[in-house]
Amino acid sequence: MSSLLGLSFIGFARGQSTAAPYRAINPATATALEPDFFPATAAEADKACILAAQATPTLAALSGKKKAAFLRDIATRIEAATPSLVARATQETGLPEARCQGEIGRTMGQLRLFADLVEKGDWIDARIETANPDRKPLPKPDHRSLLRPIGPVAVFCASNFPFAYSVAGGDTASAFAAGCPVIVMGHHAHIGTAEIMGGLIVEAVKANQLPEGTFSLLMGEGRVIGQQVAKHPALRAIGFTGSRVGGRALMDTAAARPTPIPVYAEMSSVNPVVLLEGALASRGDAIATGLLGSCTLGVGQFCTQPGLIVLTRSDAAESFINKLSALFTDCADGVMLTAGIHQAYQKGLTARAAQAGVKVVAQGKSSGQPNRAVATLFATDAKTFVADASLQEEIFGPSSLVIWCADQREVDAVLGALHGNLTATIHGTDAELAQHAALIARLEAIAGRVVVNGFPTGVEVSHAIVHGGPYPSLSDGRTTSVGSNAIYRFTRLVCFQNYPDAALPTELQNLNPLGLSRLVNGSRSNSAL
Amino acid sequence: MSSLLGLSFIGFARGQSTAAPYRAINPATATALEPDFFPATAAEADKACILAAQATPTLAALSGKKKAAFLRDIATRIEAATPSLVARATQETGLPEARCQGEIGRTMGQLRLFADLVEKGDWIDARIETANPDRKPLPKPDHRSLLRPIGPVAVFCASNFPFAYSVAGGDTASAFAAGCPVIVMGHHAHIGTAEIMGGLIVEAVKANQLPEGTFSLLMGEGRVIGQQVAKHPALRAIGFTGSRVGGRALMDTAAARPTPIPVYAEMSSVNPVVLLEGALASRGDAIATGLLGSCTLGVGQFCTQPGLIVLTRSDAAESFINKLSALFTDCADGVMLTAGIHQAYQKGLTARAAQAGVKVVAQGKSSGQPNRAVATLFATDAKTFVADASLQEEIFGPSSLVIWCADQREVDAVLGALHGNLTATIHGTDAELAQHAALIARLEAIAGRVVVNGFPTGVEVSHAIVHGGPYPSLSDGRTTSVGSNAIYRFTRLVCFQNYPDAALPTELQNLNPLGLSRLVNGSRSNSAL
């Protein structure tokens, strides 16, 4: 830990200690941690962007094999540094050691997934249309397309994932995989962890002989230095995980630039869970136990935390809510990531409890220690919910709102009023699911992932995962921020017309030297031309 | 022609004739054409959006086969109506009959390309990750993803393509193919043609028993009725082809919505052409002839018109420019699409001719008839060009600017100063191309399509075409507005977790009933599970 300098990485150089410093705080004890961290200066942020622009063509020309080696090297360095990463992160975040260990495993898994993807190479969507000089009325030219890196990407780290959505997290891994330089804004909630991780990436950049501008890590406030980076002419895209206010501010900045750029912000989601009567009658207790676990996992600080529970009045539903209430009441409090998050949680609970038509159904135990969140279950009725959009604002933490519906029409009204979400969940018997196809289609329309008879927390890192959904869950509801599809966020299409074979990117050359699956004149082929 | 009513199509109903009418103008004679056209009212635009929202789930559930039948039916109806479409379009646009015939052929080709694509079905990117209950530390759930339609799309027609980028053009075809309802804003430059085409689509919607809101066509000003539609809560995406000012206005509106939506605006491009000395020495005359053709094709009213010609001083370059100047001087004038476009062209020429450091090198013949554009070749030097961003503003029409560079360093400076373009072109001998790899990489960074030893006009409709490029050529430089890849603009990713097989979309069911190429646990497979 003594090796922490509290300074940004501007390419291979370190930032200066000129700005007013701040410290990381241990939220479990509300005490400040050594050492001082110095926000990046405006000149340093500018330098990071210019270095990234300079690195762009070299990274764009990098083979999939070389990108894979770089990503795997980062993973290997993380593996070796795991003890120091865990030691620092547990102090900074209050997260238990096992969680940090698990999240580091996931982070390495993400890096290796993207390494495999780019080494294989098919992801690049190589397409070839061969020339036909005899075509009437006009000859057909040879033209070939693939995906190219979009250019420098700024990554804003998440408070709630010190590893998987931070310095070497999914946004960084997918941007590197696409061939983009990355400028990371460290999160103050785990800035020491960020510095350790940043050092590992810089070592990997050097060891793989990549250009200096491949990676920079800026300490400091997203609202100041992050906005400056977002406006920088060299920047081409933004990845962000955080609050709706913060994400929307970046979206607005990016849209107002002389040259607008895409923003991939994962912002807020209340993850509705619809419970049908038959499911509650046949396995209500199991659903209650599973739901409690999903609501309170990680002290409710997951973007897929189920914040809305939608059901119709029935005996089974009443006894289910009694069971769920008992579980909430039994629940111990947990330390939140930062004092700020804890204060926001408290404020959210107080405001919701004061709303007309909303009541507190159950509340967990309080230990009285600092920054602890008490699990809280609210309830309201469908009419109140539909009439008040503020009831679908996320209260980040272990709190959920039960929405009692009189009948299926009210359930439809509730779903019709919902904004976009990362996930939507439904529990029903086979017969109920077959009967409620329209309801399931409604869930699909408002979410990026629909879960049947399961729980929304626990996001797979795979080829088929979608961690995205309509606004405001994502700024750009077409995409995903997790899984191999995330790479496409940082790419652009380019077509090469009438190129001499040797001047083409390897992926498009006649002999298909990489053995890719390519779309040749509309048919898939792994062969040479 | 007598069947034209001058009224919008609001689903299956017609608009009212309450607003102040306008007429289409024959630009060749500057005379107004029958009948009156009545702008859609605010209530009609609202109704079109609401109908589209209502149609959304039905269209989203449509099979690829049914979408293909609908698209092919539109093409068949266009084929049958070709004589009346051509008759009206030639009058409204001044475009020659052969061009209209050709563009109708292209439009039908686009519809049929998308029909083939969605009937085959592979485009949907079906991905399956099968469950593994024994995985450690956590079981792996079954989860499967594909692309879903984004929802109602507004399409703003282009002035310069009455068919291929208008009512039944590429944006509409790709949005329908994705499964989205479409609300078209007709372009006043060919509003009668739009009405005929709109009628054909409505007939196809009815014949294919699709919901009423599948398609609407609004007459009127994009700045008024179009802005209203762009702000409508039901809208999910916008396709636009037109001016940079118009496109940026829509981008700003879309970004400022409570729920921002993507805008695919194809706006402005000057399509630089770099000419290397060896190529000019060996086939300068042929390049001059080809370039003249590309500069003046369609009276220069193509988005890929080569507006910048970049070369270094040499004897070959001097004699090439002499040849090109002679060809420009010999060039007859041509009627432009509208009086407004002609006025803007005249204004652009006058302003450019008055700029310090710019001179008129050659100008074609003028017949003195109304709305005729005279081909005009300007020249400047690299330093003047780099210092003045206004010199890369598009002058829409048959005008190009020669940029004389002292050496290759100045060529690099010119390319470094360029904004985004749809295309970039280079002419060189094989030896020159091998030698200038860095220069070619620079072209790739600023354009969506790079052409070697050819000309940028003539955009293939294929799987490998990219008609897109960095801003301001496109609002969203990741995408293409032409070719099968255009369908992805109107989609969003959705993941289905732990679904009973029968509740899954057909594309994701175990038996693979459509025989799709799917990514199963990371490997491509056409088989059943």
Find the catalytic residue in A266, A277, A394, A410: A266
CA-based nearest distance A492→chain B, Å? 4
pLDDT of residue B1: 44
Tell me which of B44, B103, B266, B277 is the catalytic residue: B266
Q: Long-range contacts for A242-246 (Cβ within 8 Å, ≥24 apart)? A: A242/A156, A242/A158, A242/A159, A242/A266, A242/A267, A243/A267, A243/A268, A243/A396, A244/A268, A244/A394, A244/A472, A246/A156, A246/A222
pLDDT < 70 positions in chain A = 1-2
Sorted by where each begins, the domain ranges of chain A are: 9-17+40-267+480-488, 272-452
Enumerate the residues of chain B whose CB falls inside 8 A of the CB of residue A444. 148, 494, 496
- For residues A43 and A359, give the distance between their C-alpha atoms in angstroms, rounded to a whole number: 52
Do the beta carbons of residue B225 and residue B218 sit within 8 Å?
Answer: yes
Q: What is the pTM of this model?
A: 0.97
CB contact at 8 A, A17 and A83: no
CB < 8 Å to A500, chain B: 430, 433-434, 452
Mark yes or no for CB contact A255/B259 under 8 Å. no
> Are residues A172 and A74 in contact, defined by beta-carbon separation less than 8 angstroms?
no
Give yes or no: A266 in active site. Answer: yes
CB contact under 8 A, A61 and B460: no
User: What CATH code would you report for A9-17+40-267+480-488?
Assistant: 3.40.605.10
Per-residue pLDDT of chain B in tens (529 residues, 90 and over written 9): 448 999 999 999 999 999 899 999 999 999 999 999 999 999 999 999 999 999 999 999 999 999 999 999 999 999 999 999 999 999 999 999 999 999 999 999 999 999 999 999 999 999 999 999 999 888 999 999 999 999 999 999 999 999 999 999 999 999 999 999 999 999 999 999 999 999 999 999 999 999 999 999 999 877 889 999 999 999 999 999 999 999 999 999 999 999 999 999 999 999 999 999 999 999 999 999 999 999 999 999 999 999 999 999 999 999 999 999 999 999 999 999 999 999 999 999 999 999 999 999 999 999 999 999 999 999 999 999 999 999 999 999 999 999 999 999 999 999 999 999 999 999 999 999 999 999 999 999 999 999 999 999 999 999 999 999 999 999 999 999 999 999 999 999 999 999 999 999 999 999 999 999 999 999 999 999 9
| Both structure tokens of A220 | 């400091």
Q: Return the DSSP state at A386.
A: H
Residues A444, A421: Cα–Cα separation, whole Å: 10
Are β-strands A308-312 and B308-312 bridged in parallel, bridged antiparallel, or unpaired? Answer: unpaired
Interchain CB distance below 8 Å, B463 and A496: no
Contact A276, A428 (CB under 8 A): yes
Q: Give the bridge partners for A263, in sequence order.
A: A238
Q: Among A460, A493, A517, select the one facing B480 at the smallest CB separation.
A: A493
How many residue pairs bridge chain A and chain B with CB atoms within 8 Å of each other? 219
Separation of alpha carbons A166 and A154, rounded Å: 12
Closest in B60, B430, B498 to A452, CB measured: B498
Query: In chain B, what residues touch A480 (CB-CB under 8 Å)?
Result: 493, 495
Which of B57, B116, B454 is closest, CB to CB, to A497?
B454
C-alpha distances (whole Å) from B474 to each of A433, B264, B423 are 43, 7, 11
Question: Would you list the DSSP string of B218-280?
Answer: E-S-IIIIIHHHHH-TT--EEEEES-HHHHHHHHHHHHHSSS---EEEE-----EEEE-HHHH
Q: Which residues in chain B are contacts of A470 at CB distance < 8 A? A: 259, 492
Predicted pLDDT at A220? 83
B272-452, which class in CATH?
Answer: alpha beta
Chain A hits for B523, Cβ within 8 Å:
none
- In angstroms, what separates the C-alpha of B16 from chain A's closest C-alpha? 31
Nearest Cβ partner for A524 among B150, B498, B517: B517
Residue contact A454–B138, C-beta within 8 A: no
The residue of chain B with its CA nearest to that of A250 is B255
Q: Identify the residue among B116, B140, B143, B276 best suited for mutation to test binding to A, counting A beta carbons within 10 A and taking the highest.
A: B143
Reported as type and span, the H/E element at residue A147 is strand A143-149
What is the rounded distance in angstroms from the CA atom of residue B9 to the CA atom of residue B11? Answer: 6
Nearest CA in chain B to A485: B493
Please tell me the distance from the alpha carbon of residue A234 to that of residue A98, in angstroms, as a whole number: 40
Residue type, B250: L
Taking residue A369's Cβ as centre, other Cβ atoms within 10 Å add up to: 11
Asked if A478 lies within 8 A of B495 by C-beta distance, the reply is no
Query: What's the complex ipTM?
Result: 0.96
DSSP-assigned states of every residue in A8-35: -EETTEE--S-SPPB--EETTTTEE-SS
Can you tell me the distance from the alpha carbon of A156 to that of A257, in angstroms, rounded to the nearest whole number?
Answer: 18
pLDDT of residue A424: 98
Give the minimum alpha-carbon distance from B529 to chain A in angstroms, rounded to a whole number.
Answer: 15
Give CA A446 to chain center in angstroms: 18
Tell me how far apart the terminal alpha carbons of chain A are, to the nearest angstrom.
56
CA–CA separation, B482 vs B449, rounded Å?
12
Nearest to A469 by CA among B394, B494, B233: B494
pLDDT reported for residue A1: 44
User: How close, in Å, is residue B507 to chain A by CA atoms?
Assistant: 13
- Amino acid at site B38: F
CATH of domain B9-25+40-267+480-488: 3.40.605.10
Q: At what angle do helices A64-93 and A170-178 cross, to 10 degrees?
A: 170
Contacts of B412 in chain A (CB under 8 A): none
Looking at CA atoms only, how far is residue A463 from chain B in angstroms?
6
Cross-chain residue pair A503–B437, CB shorter than 8 Å = yes
Q: What residue of A is the nearest CA neighbor of B116?
A: A522
For the question of residue B405 being annotated catalytic, the response is no
Residue appearing with tokens 């994701």: B508
> What chain B residue is nearest to A477 in terms of C-alpha separation?
B492
* Helix (H), strand (E) at residue A110: helix A97-120
Out of A442, A464, A500, the one facing B128 most closely (by C-beta) is: A464
If one counts every other C-beta atom within 10 angstroms of the C-beta of residue B252, the result is 14
The active-site residue, picked from A100, A157, A295, A303, is A303
Q: In this complex, do A445 and B143 lie within 8 Å of one another by their Cβ atoms?
A: no
Q: Are A320 and A361 in contact (CB under 8 A)?
A: no
Alpha-carbon gap, residue A466 to A476, rounded angstroms: 13
Residues of A whose CB is below 8 A from B464: 127-129, 143-145, 495, 519
- B369 CA: distance to closest CA in chain A (Å): 31
Residue-wise pLDDT tens digits, A45-103 = 999 999 999 999 999 999 999 999 999 999 999 999 999 999 999 999 999 999 999 99
Separation of alpha carbons A289 and B485, rounded Å: 46
